[in-house]
Amino acid sequence: MKTQDLTIEGMDCGHCVMAVRKELSKVDGLKIEEVQIGNARVQVDETRVTQDIVAKAIEEAGYRLVAVQ
């Protein structure tokens, strides 16, 4: 598992945080450490989860992944 810090565009309230958390929780091989307005910290099993999978989950919540560190 590798820790990744995600920068997410478009989040501005608690509902946004809940929506992103909900979609990320559906990704097998990803563990959420925290989600805040504009960012998230997750642990990713890189053998199962790609950046595209993470970006798609965030897009399903209505936001956009802009950076991964």
Q: What b/e sequence results for 28-40 when a residue is b if at least 16 CB atoms lie within 10 Å of its CB, and e otherwise?
A: eebeeeebeebbb
pLDDT-above-90 percentage for the chain: 100
> 31: which strand partners?
43
Q: Residues 2-16: what's their mean pLDDT?
A: 97
pLDDT of residue 25: 98
Record the pTM. Answer: 0.94
Residue ranges of domains in the chain, CATH in brackets = 2-68 (3.30.70.100)
